[in-house]
Structure 1
Amino acid sequence: MPGLPPDPPPSRLRWAWWLLAWLSLGLGLLGVLLPGLPTVPFILLSAYAAARGSARLHAWLLAHRRFGPMIVDWQRHGAVSRRAKRLALAMMSVAAVVMFLTAPRWWMAATGTGIMAVVATWLWSRPEPPGAG
């Protein structure tokens, strides 16, 4: 296909990278619908794996209207937009409330909420993309 970068060099593990890229993309897409299942980390993992296993999938992800800018910001600057940070925090909060309302033991919900708090702290420590207001 013209315009696509060449496939990565042949490797014994290329099929594993390809499989990881597609599985991560599937989980990321499920995360759009299911609260508590993260989208962004799975999409970023999919892009990372696709760069090593499928030039076509990697190019598609970079050109994607929603995912492309997020992937480029992460690859170039290790940056996450303020909008994505806010959305992630809101979804984690919803997931925490659902866990406290439905978990059979309070410590189960507290453990999940604690893990999400650590992730949220790390996420907010990431820089914002250059030029983001």
Structure 2
Amino acid sequence: MALVRILWVAIAALSFSIGVLGIFLPLLPTTVFMLIAVYCASKGSPRFEAWIRSRHYVGPLLITWEQERAIPRPAKLTAVGMIALSGLITGWTLGPGWRSFSIIALLVIVAVWLATRPEPSSSK
């Protein structure tokens, strides 16, 4: 049983680390990895879960998502802006072709999905 808890915590720590990198790197989605980190931490270490939720840069976003399935406007604008930057970089580095088109199409789908999420009721 201790090994299972260690694995949950290890996955949570890895997801949290990737999520933190996603704050600075446009191609990594922060929120998804933070949600995975919170879920895994809740299975392995409630203390680690509480620590993740207490981080000022991600805690409120996680709580809002879990309670309302909503994303605040500043987070949406930042995410969509980073996705657009990623699309530009992808198009520039890969040039024309199916790989570039496929990646940019996926980025557009993600950006549209993000942009159409509701905003938290507390921010309206």
Q: Is the pair's TM-score, using the shorter chain for normalization, greater than 0.5? A: yes
- C-alpha RMSD over aligned residues: 1.7
Cα displacement (A) at 1:14: 2.7
Q: CA–CA distance in 2 between the matches of 1:13 and 1:122?
A: 34
Give the number of aligned pairs: 124
SS in 2 for 1:52: helix
Consecutive unaligned residues in structure 1, runs of 5 or more? 1-9
- Stretches of 4+ aligned residues off by more than 6 angstroms: none
Return the TM-score normalized by structure 2. Answer: 0.89
Give % identity.
33
Q: Name the CA shift for 1:51/1:109 in 2 (closer, same or farther; >3 Å).
A: same
- Cross-structure match for 1:58: 49
Q: Quick check: 119-128 or 25-34, which moved more?
A: 119-128
Return the TM-score normalized by structure 1. Answer: 0.83
Cα displacement (A) at 1:17: 1.9
- Cross-structure match for 2:86: 95
Find the partner of 2:19 among 22, 25, 28.
Answer: 28
Amino acid at match of 1:77: E
Q: CA–CA distance in 1 between the matches of 2:25 and 2:36?
A: 18
State whether residues 80 and 114 of structure 2, in contact with CA within 8 Å, keep that contact through their aligned partners in structure 1: no
- Between Structure 1 and Structure 2, which shows a larger proportion of helix residues? 2
Consecutive unaligned residues in structure 2, runs of 5 or more? none
1:118 and 2:109 aligned: yes
Output one character per residue of 1:34-87: Cα deviation in whole Å (capped at 9) or x when no partner: 221111211121112111111111111111111110011011111111111111
Q: CA–CA distance in 2 between the matches of 1:71 and 1:33?
A: 18
Output one character per residue of 1:62-119: Cα deviation in whole Å (capped at 9) or x when no partner: 1111111001101111111111111111000000000111015522121111111111
Find the partner of 2:38 among 37, 43, 47.
Answer: 47
Amino acid at match of 2:108: A
Q: CA–CA distance in 2 between the matches of 1:37 and 1:28?
A: 7
Amino acid at match of 1:34: L
